[in-house]
């Protein structure tokens, strides 16, 4: 793959990886994942000991909100990209002892066929992950742990004690617009934990800032 850039978001450990597209009259080609590059390139050193064991694809209709999900035993990091449409990624810090505990960021990840690059967002363990869709979208995500239904939980994106101050105001406004328009979502996601409720749960100790 031809790496263009690796950028850090406001929450430590959350990254955006950009790789080049190669264009001609037919369209474009991009190599957006190569295991040897992910394990050897210095810019991707944070992924050198990471192994992806599961790949998922999800289609969401316009007005859908998913998350905020997280898993332990095994922990599950996610490498996420949009294949079609537009998705805005949501990442919430749930690591005990983190200076950004309870803070959430948004990242706009449209599938722009006219762009000269392809993007992944890396969401490591220790963060709750969600998405919302201003239009129909298909996303793909590689996971570092297989799905474990007995070891998962979620925080409601509507919880009143989330700190949105690090979010770009335009994306927060777009989330509020989707959220106020009878969004498509599960009851489980809608009525997930608040941050305070999760921190009072003994399972919150599964996620601690710093090396485990």
Q: List the structure tokens of 37.
A: 């590059």
Cis ω on the peptide bond leading into residue 138 (within 30° of 0)? Answer: no
73 vs 19, 39, 51, 150, CA distance in Å? 31, 24, 15, 9
Report the distance separating Cα 16 and Cα 73, nearest Å.
Answer: 26
Both tokens of residue 196? 């305070």
User: Which amino acids are annotated catalytic?
Assistant: 69, 141
Q: Report how many helices (DSSP H) and strands (DSSP E) the chain contains, helices first.
A: 4, 12
By the 8 A CB rule, do 182 and 70 touch?
no
For residues 71 and 112, what is the distance between their CA atoms, to the nearest angstrom? 30
Contact between 43 and 56 under an 8 Å Cβ cutoff? The reply is no
CB 209 within 8 A of CB 96: yes
Tell me the backbone φ, ψ of residue 154, rounded to 5 degrees: -150, 150
């Amino acid at each position: 793959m031809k790496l263009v850039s690796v950028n850090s978001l406001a929450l430590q450990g959350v990254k955006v990886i950009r790789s080049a597209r190669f264009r001609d009259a037919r369209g474009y080609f991009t190599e957006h994942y190569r295991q040897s590059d992910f394990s050897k390139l210095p810019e991707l050193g944070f992924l050198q000991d990471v192994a992806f064991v599961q790949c998922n694809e999800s289609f969401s209709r316009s007005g859908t909100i998913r998350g905020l999900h997280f898993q332990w035993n095994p922990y599950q990091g996610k490498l996420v990209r949009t294949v079609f449409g537009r998705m805005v990624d949501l990442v919430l810090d749930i690591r005990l002892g983190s200076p950004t505990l309870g803070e959430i960021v948004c990242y706009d990840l449209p599938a722009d066929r006219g762009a000269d690059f392809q993007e992944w967002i890396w969401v490591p363990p220790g963060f709750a992950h969600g998405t919302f869709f201003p239009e129909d979208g298909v996303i793909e995500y590689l996971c570092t742990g297989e799905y474990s239904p007995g070891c998962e939980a979620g925080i409601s994106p509507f919880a009143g004690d989330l700190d949105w101050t690090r979010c770009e105001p335009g994306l927060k406004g777009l989330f509020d617009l989707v959220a106020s328009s009878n969004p498509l979502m599960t009851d489980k996601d809608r009525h997930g934990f608040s941050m305070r409720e999760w921190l009072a749960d003994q399972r919150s100790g599964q996620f601690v800032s710093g090396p485990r």
